[in-house]
Chains A and B, each alone.
Chain A
Amino acid sequence: MPEAAVILDGVCKSFGSLRAVVDLTLSVVPGEIYGLLGPNGAGKTTALRMLAGLLQPSSGRALLLGLDAGSLQAKTRMGFLSGSTGLYAHLTPRETLQYFGRVHGLSAIDVRRRTATLAGWLGLEKLLDRRCENLSSGEKQRVSLARAVLHDPPVLILDEPTAGLDVLASRSLRDFVRGERARGKAVLFSTHYLAEAELLCDRIGLLFRGRLLREGTPASIRAECGATTLEEAFLKLVDSE
């Protein structure tokens, strides 16, 4: 078993009297897609924000490749994407990638090379020099994905990346994520589309009211709950709470 690339160890996060995440422990190894599932307000985004270094845990540890998730070193090894991710409207995708590439410490040549590679993988060739404000939602999400993986990070944190995308764009994104897994990346993926998680994830964690209800492969959770679908299993678990 390879060493975990992503670790949340007994993490709690409170906002005033609201306990958004309660004693959450999970890990993701390289070459694995871990799906964090739950309804709106379950604490998925808060958990991922702690791993992306945007929030500090109230207690517990959030680690990426053994580094504190809030550190600059950890951030250089992580690509972060969320469904609400926007782009700088007046910049072109090429300029956006140049900016983020330089922020991640890539040389101008490396940025150009990597941009060309990603443009081929994600079908961005014709979009690179158009202003982002003129792109469709699907095109913007592909550019955002290119931005998240530009520096070829070993860890990908994707917060509801398919939210608002059509079927084709969702499939294209899932295919890309599978490709990244094949390249040995550790992927932490949150969604409230249970069917999508079933299609994509190696392991899933069901989050409800900030707590991890169950963790395992989709098949093991279905079997444990005596359910035919993940949705049914989830509803049974929530009802028993």
Chain B
Amino acid sequence: MTQLSQRLSHVLLTLGKELRESLRDRRTLVVMILFPLVVYPLLSLLAAQVAVARDRTRQARPSLVAVLGPDGMRDDLSARIRAQPKLLSLIERGSRADVAAGRLDSLAQLAETGASRAEIVYDASREESREAAERLSDVIASVLPAGCAPRFSLEKHNLAPEAGVGGYLLSKVLPLLIVLMVLLGAFYPAIDVTAGERERGTLETILASPIRRFDLLLGKVLAVTALAALTGLLNLASMSVTLIQVMRLADPGSTLQVPWTRAAAASAVVLPSAFLFASLFVAVGAVARGFKEAQHLLTPVYFLSIAPAVAGAVGEYRLTGLAAWIPCMNVTLLARELLLGHVSFLGALAALASTLACGCVALAVAAHIYGSERFVDPGPRERRPETIRSTANSNPPTAGQAMFLYALAFVLLYFVWLPLQRHNLVLGLLVSEWGGLLGLVVLFALFTRRPLADLLRIVRPPPRCLAGAALVGLSAWAAVAILSEWVSPVPKEVIEQLRRSLIPTDGSRGFWGTLALVALTPAICEEALFRGPILRGLRTRANPVAAAALTGLLFGVFHIELSRILPTALLGILLSVVTLESGSILPAMLTHFLNNASLVGLAYFRIDDKVAEFGATASAMIFMAGAALTALGLFLVHSGSRQARL
């Protein structure tokens, strides 16, 4: 019995020791908390919102269709098609060749040989054509004679060759898989050649040898590129065969073929992607002290790389415009278009050039790290001065504390406040802002023994700073809104829905009530968290530009809605600049309040509807005026604080 209790005691002692050690490792905590509670919800939100946007775009486009056949039957069906202008657009003349060439989405061929027969001609390797065929089927099925039996016997005829259909099916899955596999293929080799080399003790040896550091780095990057590319290619080949086999098993009558030519063409994205990820991972791995730290550093980079690839795969965007230049997303889209067999030359060029350019930038960063002495000896982990628990702590929060607060606020928002807001918007907003944001900051101040005024930097700013902040608040919304509209337009339904919920014009809340809820509350509560401990914490590890940019990005992501990330991130950056320049949180609160108040005023008095009707020239002028006034405001903040310092 004694022996048993002694063994149990040893088990418990070991359990306690291991838990203590693991929970003291902040990186373990980050992986344990940040990823399941923040990153995964964010990724799923991103995917869901992109999918919704895709469906909305698809629904908004009427399918181009034509009808062939005897006059009477054709006229009847044509009239029914014309009655649905949002879904179908009737072209007077069309042929099978037009469908095959992509000039027409679908064709209805009517015939009366004994019974009425309708053949729907479509191209199964094109999404638009499949959609058009579905819509046409619905219309034809609705043509009912008096007896209510379908008037037409319906047949569908696919013009795409089997390989084309195979390419279409593979395009649904393979592009994202290729990127994921290349990422995975680069992950561990990159750690091994950087942190692994440091941990094995071979780094000093090779650095003391007559080899240029850039040559050493390039050799490593190319090795990781080769391994990642090999992983990608093997997966591409294996998944192509597997997916087609699965399709054949599901439909034994199918004659689907592996589109080897298209799969080989899609492999063109493997090497540039592998180079990008290898350079990126080697650059990040080079700053790690060991294997474990490299894993912790690379995991967020891995997920950040996945996000645009997921957006590309789910959104099914075309490889044009901005999408062709966004790393990770563009290679996913290029692989998809290559599998589908219709790729735009300029889009492909932009995707490859952008991917290689980003890889070169990452390589340059890695070369900078390899050339620095920190690479030889990263030194011990930063030690902060010991704080005496019984006295007030005047140190700024650490970057780790800043990220922890953000993660906690995000988790509360996602799992508690958003459901509450769906149940009761006003109550949910008030509780989430005053309790979830400001309350969190107050608790943090109490827990870490920091005076709240000190933590938030509640310092009386010079009058010129306040004037500058006011100017930014009154003007930035114009520049930010128009810029966002140009880069990534927010769907009108989203704006309208937001306006209806936040700023009801039926008088149920009143102008001042709306102002207090939508302008004053976030100006105090959101600023307290973001321009307080988060910005100050990040500033301890990053230069002012990086700290402002990162805080802005976190602020944007915190607004959850994909289409609002860009404008809120831009606003967040401006607010961070105002705070850093003025050395006080109060000007940023003023800016935030006036920015939101301006938007409330515009919406409340329906002025924004008129603004939305402005043409491109007027928009450009408003943008320039807004940007100029914002710049002037920032200058006033800067000069005001400088004057005060002198």
Residues on A facing B (Cβ under 8 Å): 15, 49, 52-56, 72-73, 75-76, 78, 80, 82, 84-89, 100, 103-105, 144, 147
Contacts and interface: CB of A to CB of B under 8 A. Distances in A.
Interface in B182-225: 200-202, 204-212
B204 A52 contact: yes
A15 B202 contact: no
Given A88-B200, A104-B210, 13 more contacts: A49-B204, A52-B204, A55-B377, A72-B210, A73-B210, A75-B209, A82-B204, A85-B205, A86-B200, A100-B205, A103-B210, A105-B210, A147-B205
Contact of A88 (B202, B207, B373, B376): B202
Given A49-B376, A55-B373, A56-B373, A85 B201 contact: yes
Contact of B202 (A56, A73, A85): A85
A49 B373 CA distance: 11
Contacts of B615: none
B58 to A, nearest CB: 51
20 contacts: A15-B379, A49-B204, A52-B208, A55-B376, A55-B377, A75-B208, A75-B210, A76-B210, A78-B208, A80-B204, A84-B201, A84-B204, A85-B202, A86-B200, A87-B202, A88-B200, A88-B202, A89-B200, A100-B209, A144-B205
B375 to A, nearest CB: 10
A186 to B, nearest CB: 16
A54 B201 contact: no
A183 to B, nearest CB: 21
Contacts of B207: 53-54
Contacts of B209: 75, 100, 103-104
A238 to B, nearest CB: 24
A181 to B, nearest CB: 21
A88 B204 CA distance: 13
B508 to A, nearest CB: 61
Nearest to B202: A86
Interface string B121-147: 000000000000000000000000000
B498 to A, nearest CB: 50
A63 B376 CA distance: 20
A48 to B, nearest CB: 10
Contacts of A147: 205
A80 B207 CA distance: 10
Closest 7 CB pairs of A and B: A86-B201, A80-B208, A86-B200, A75-B210, A52-B208, A76-B210, A72-B210
Interface string B361-402: 000000000000100110100000000000000000000000
A54 B208 CA distance: 6
Most-contacted residue by chain A among B200, B208, B210, B376 (CB, 10 A) = B208
Contacts of A86: 200-202, 205
Contacts of B379: 15
Contacts of B206: 103
A87 B200 contact: yes
B405 to A, nearest CB: 28
Contacts of B377: 49, 55
A46 to B, nearest CB: 9
A135 to B, nearest CB: 13
A52 B204 CA distance: 9
A156 B262 CA distance: 58
Contacts of A103: 206, 209-211
Contacts of B200: 86-89
B204 A72 contact: no
A64 to B, nearest CB: 11
A21 to B, nearest CB: 13
B201 A53 contact: no
B216 to A, nearest CB: 9
Contacts of A82: 201, 204
Contacts of A88: 200, 202
A85 B212 contact: no
A84 B379 CA distance: 16
Contacts of A75: 208-210
A103 B379 CA distance: 28
A60 B212 CA distance: 23
